[in-house]
Amino acid sequence: MKIIIYRKPSPRLHSLAAWASALAVGVMCAACGETRDPSSRTSPEPEVQHPDPPRTSDGDPLQGARTENWGIGDRWYDYTFDTHSVAPADISWVILRDEDAYHFRVLRYYGDDGAAGKPAMVVRRWTGDGFGEEQTIKVETSIRSAPACLRFETGDVVSCDDASTFDLVWRTDRRPIPEEGFAIGNPALYATSDGDTHVVQYPSKKAPEALPDLTRTVPREVCEPFNADPDIEVPTRDPRCETMPWRIGSIFNADAALSVSFDDLQTHDVFQMTGTMHVAQWRAEIDELRENLTIWARCTSTDFTAACTPPLDTTPERLSIPLHELAAWTFVDLCGAKGTSAPYAPRIYEQRDVLRAGLWASNEAFELAIQRTDQDIRLRIAPSQPFERAAHDGFSDAHVPRSLWSIPGPLSCAF
């Protein structure tokens, strides 16, 4: 039996105090209304698998775990502290879909009016012997209000209702900054590998002269080991990362993510920072005899610094879901809306049979996404919600792990 956990990485806000403080301000300004353009200022019954999870040398199944990509995500930009603005990084991508291929890059994150959240893309279509003329696709309404879907063939922003009509999704999810008592809008880009679609990242904005050879690509997770603490060893970088393009994963492709086994969840809880400014403590198990999935969870508000967050001391609430009632995707809300006080009973927020990467519900509405496939059942952490796991003791009173904070709080509190 296994339960696989994935989460969205937090390289920009999960680090040493000074580094994270500056970068937290940058991402905050990059996604809020104050940002200015610097130039102007039903699936079959699943068969539950029983493989052993990959482990590190010390046996910890989550030590140094990389988080699930959910696509290109928020790694497309660089932040400029002087102007509190973002600019596209010196990277670009090629998407191969069916018979077509397109090279694309981010032109800017700001609209013609200088407002943030109205990105523009430059796209070139493969002609057979090279990438053709550039076309610019502009998003005229803010992605902070709703996702924007782009269709490369026509060069239009199109409805996200029909998954067959678009190639790329812009959207904003909430990244919590508990030190400030709020969650910021985190602009991210999603063009992911799924079925016959493949996405490859290049280390420049220039279009390649030929289509990528997928046998000569490297998973991006291998090429982006990240840890802001110099005292913690990170994986050795694959030397092929310097000579080969990087293959982008997706929510449908989990070959690079570490898993945590059912046995691990029997002895460990997950502590998760949510977009609604809570910390959730939860665990889950599948009862194969009764054929149901049970989640136990409790939450506490994080409108204080790390050290001053109230402890988790309430009795956990339980949600049991018969396995046959799981859709392909079941989204679970653990803590409720911002300001919700304990106790809060976890609930099913939404269920879907089809999900394109980038088109999940707002991550303020759910903390866990349960994916049911023909092979197994997987739990996925909502985007931009960091988590840690710790040995549990029957849900006894627990303090929130300080490691969930991007900026450590004080060592003592007034209360």
pLDDT digits (tens, 9 = 90+) for 108-127: 999 999 999 999 999 999 99
What confidence score (pLDDT) does residue 355 get? Answer: 81
Instruction: Tell me, yes or no, if the pTM score tops 0.85.
Output: no
The answer, yes or no, to whether residue 403 has pLDDT greater than 90, is no
Does residue 278 lie within any of the structural domains? no
What confidence score (pLDDT) does residue 259 get? Answer: 45
Mean pLDDT (the chain) is 77
DSSP E strand boundaries for 240-326: 246-247, 260-261, 268-273, 278-287, 292-301, 317-322
Cross-sheet strand order for the sheet of 317-322: 317-322, 292-301, 278-287, 268-273, 387-391
Does residue 298 lie within any of the structural domains? no
What confidence score (pLDDT) does residue 393 get? Answer: 77
The answer, yes or no, to whether residue 6 has pLDDT greater than 60, is no
Q: Which residue has the higher pLDDT, 162 or 26?
A: 162
Does residue 78 lie within any of the structural domains? yes
Structure tokens at 389: 């796991």
Boundaries of domain holding 74:
69-247
The answer, yes or no, to whether residue 344 has pLDDT greater than 80, is yes
Among left, alpha and beta (phi > 0; psi -120 to 50; other), residue 208 is beta
Please choose, from the candidates 195, 207, 203, 209, the residue with its C-alpha nearest in 3D space to the C-alpha of residue 223: 203
Does residue 400 lie within any of the structural domains? no
Beta bridge partners of residue 79, listed in sequence order: 86
Does residue 213 lie within any of the structural domains? yes
DSSP label at residue 250? B
User: What's the per-residue H, E or C state across 83-147?
Assistant: CCEEEECCCEEEEEECCEEEEEEEEEEECCCCEEEEEEEEEEEECCCCEEEEEEEECCCCCCCCC
Please choose, from the candidates 415, 272, 279, the residue with its C-alpha nearest in 3D space to the C-alpha of residue 342: 279
Does residue 102 lie within any of the structural domains? yes
Total domain count, the chain? 1
What confidence score (pLDDT) does residue 92 get? Answer: 96
What confidence score (pLDDT) does residue 201 get? Answer: 94
pLDDT digits (tens, 9 = 90+) for 211-234: 999 889 988 877 776 544 445 455
